[in-house]
Amino acid sequence: MFEKDASRLTLTEAVDPKKLAYETYRINREEYMILCKYLSPWFMGENPEELANKLFNVSESSID
């Protein structure tokens, strides 16, 4: 299933009461890695990509 880029949502789509917030603003692994790289303080430690991947996997498994 193709998911629409959250940055291109119309206001009507963004406030759809039938959708949960995480369904509207869901990001893929690549986007998550970019956010982790620039926004998280622990991305400077050992194996930051591995930690970010594990966190992404946990968040994906809790949604499904």
CA distances from residue 14 to 22, 23, 51 in whole angstroms, order as listed: 11, 10, 30
The Cα angle at residue 64 between residues 17 and 45, in degrees rounded to 5: 110
Q: pLDDT band for 7, please (50, 70, 90 cuts).
A: low
Residues 21, 2 contacting (CB under 8 angstroms)? no
Residues 36, 43 contacting (CB under 8 angstroms)? yes
pTM, to two decimals: 0.59
- The pLDDT tens digits of the residues spanning 25-64 come to 778 899 999 999 899 887 887 888 998 999 999 988 876 5
